């Protein structure tokens, strides 16, 4: 599903054809597997985020904001996160500032060996993880390699954290 | 306004309105000011603010 957000932060279902290319160029996963949200302001600056369904949770992906208005961007962020019960993300350093400042729970991440026959690829712009997803998975329990990034979440985490969702 | 002076110290840039602060700058500023002034202003209070004066009051009044 694709949703456009208006100034009142209510969501309106829309189609891919209605979304500007500047926005969709930031979407790295197939839209049929995700809920994507976007907001456009009068100066064609935008804000967007996606949610990939993983088991009973939703993984926040592809967050991007060109809005100068920080308060507006964070207000949009909070309002969209609140649509979901179990949400998690493995943000980069900048994104981690937002999750951390909103006091979402965080845990360290470890890479661990795990053979999975049906491992998928969730990032359609990068296929390097198609191979890795078969042999490795991310876990919050101690594993072979501790990552610099942390997982931030609200609610419950799924059993499997995919490598190509951050 | 003290908030603007603190923003200039952290980011070495002048601002005159809330619209000139991006989301990452805002969260860094809030976390920095909380640590510096031993405050516990949370982001949910900040996102309810409409302008710099309101945010300034959260930290400095």
Tens digit of pLDDT for each residue in B6-49?
Answer: 999 999 998 888 888 999 999 999 999 999 999 999 999 999 99
Q: Look at residue A43 and tell me whether its pLDDT is greater than 80.
A: yes
Q: Are A155 and A86 in contact (CB under 8 A)?
A: yes
What local confidence, expressed as pLDDT, does residue A111 receive?
83
CA distance A7 to A72: 9
Of the partner residues B20, B21, B27, the one whose CB lies closest to the CB of residue A98: B27
pLDDT at A124: 57
For chain A, what percent of residues have pLDDT higher than 70? 86
**Do the Cβ atoms of B23 and A101 come within 8 Å?**
no
Distances A141 to A64, A109, A152 between C-alpha atoms, Å: 30, 7, 15
State yes or no: pLDDT of A50 exceeds 80: yes
Contacts of B15 in chain A (CB under 8 A): none
pLDDT at site A69 = 85
Most confident range (mean pLDDT) of A78-82, A130-134, B16-20 is A78-82
Q: Are A102 and A78 in contact (CB under 8 A)?
A: yes
- The answer on pLDDT for A24 being more than 80 is yes
CA neighbours closer than 13 Å in the CB half-sphere of residue B1: 18
pLDDT number for residue B19: 84
Q: Which positions in chain B have a beta carbon within 8 angstroms of at least one beta carbon in chain A?
A: 18-28, 30-31, 42-44, 46-47, 49
**For chain B, how many structural domains are there in total?**
1
| Residue percentage of chain A with pLDDT more than 90 | 45
Its domain, for residue B23, covers 2-60
Q: So where are chain A's domains?
A: 2-85, 105-165
More confident residue, A163 or A91: A91
- Is the per-residue pLDDT at A127 higher than 90? no
Least confident of A68-72, A76-80, B4-8: A68-72
Is residue A144 over pLDDT 90? no
Among B23, B31, B42, the residue with its CB nearest the CB of A70 is: B23
Instruction: Pick from B3, B13, B18, B27 the residue to mutate for testing the A interface (most A CBs within 10 Å).
Output: B27
Inform me whether the pLDDT recorded for A135 exceeds 80.
no
- Decide: A81 and A105 in contact? Cβ < 8 Å: no
**Among A54-58, A65-69, A110-114, B13-17, where is mean pLDDT lowest?**
A110-114
Q: Are A137 and A120 in contact (CB under 8 A)?
A: no
**Mutation target vs B (from A101, A102, A103; most B CBs, 10 A cutoff):** A101
- Subunit contact A71:B18, Cβ cutoff 8 A: yes
Strands A87-89 and A57-65: parallel
Which residues in chain A touch residue B10, judged by CB atoms under 8 angstroms apart?
Answer: none
Task: Answer whether residue A83 shows pLDDT above 80.
Answer: yes
> Shortest CA distance to A114 belongs to which of A64, A60, A162, A152?
A162
Determine the distance in angstroms separating the CA of B31 from the nearest CA of chain A, rounded to an integer.
7
């Amino acid at each position: 599903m694709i949703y456009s957000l208006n100034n009142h932060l209510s969501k309106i279902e829309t189609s891919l054809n209605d979304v500007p290319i500047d926005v969709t160029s930031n979407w790295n996963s197939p839209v049929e597997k995700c809920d994507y949200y976007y907001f456009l302001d009068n100066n064609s600056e935008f804000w967007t985020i996606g949610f990939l369904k993983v088991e009973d949770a939703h993984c926040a992906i592809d967050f991007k904001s060109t809005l100068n208005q920080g308060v507006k961007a964070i207000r949009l962020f909070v309002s969209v996160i609140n649509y979901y019960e179990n949400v998690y993300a493995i943000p980069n350093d900048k994104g981690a500032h937002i999750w951390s400042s909103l006091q979402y729970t965080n845990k360290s991440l470890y890479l661990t060996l795990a053979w999975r026959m049906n491992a998928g690829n969730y990032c359609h712009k990068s296929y390097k993880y198609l191979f890795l997803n078969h042999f490795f998975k991310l876990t919050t329990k101690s594993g072979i390699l501790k990552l610099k990034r942390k997982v931030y979440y609200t609610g419950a985490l799924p059993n499997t954290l995919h490598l190509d969702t951050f | 306004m003290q908030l603007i002076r603190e923003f200039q110290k952290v980011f070495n840039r002048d601002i005159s309105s809330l619209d000139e602060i991006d989301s990452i700058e805002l969260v860094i500023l809030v976390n920095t000011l909380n640590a510096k002034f031993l405050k516990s202003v949370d982001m949910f209070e900040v996102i309810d603010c409409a302008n710099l004066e309101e945010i300034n009051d959260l930290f400095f009044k």
